[in-house]
Structure 1
Amino acid sequence: MHGRVYGADHGDPGPRAGRAYAQLVGGPLDGLLLDVTEARDPGAGVALPTEIGRYGPGGRSVYAPRPTDARRFDWQGDIP
């Protein structure tokens, strides 16, 4: 899997060997990879802090695993 990892350092944004990733689909974080290696509940959604969503700084974008492909998390909307 290639791409930039959500929350990674800008100097080393790529995925790392031995880690599991899901691709974020839609919304402000579209195309980024989310490290799900240590996810407590791999079927649960996540609310990711982002400044580029609807609510700006302090807001979060919500993503949930796609029912037919857990390697893709679809955007559900933004929350404050």
Structure 2
Amino acid sequence: MRQKKSPISSKRELKRRARRKNIVDVAMNAFLASGCDNVTMSDISSMLGGSKSTLWQYFDNKEDIVLPLLKQK
């Protein structure tokens, strides 16, 4: 029997997905403006208004941010 997700768990997951998408969107704009090689994780975290440690909770490196962009196309 499959268990239903608790509302708290699903809300948390929705927030996490939204935050991840926001990071990818901000990074994409930065990559388009300056080129992928010229944008650092520090640049992305600054644009997001957060810290690199928060960014690293979602992505291990810049390449992990680029992969979802490539999959969208």
TM-score of the aligned structures, taking structure 1 as reference length: 0.27
**Larger strand proportion of the pair:** 1
Greater C-alpha Rg: 2
* Higher relative contact order (Cα pairs below 8 Å, separated by 6+ residues): 2
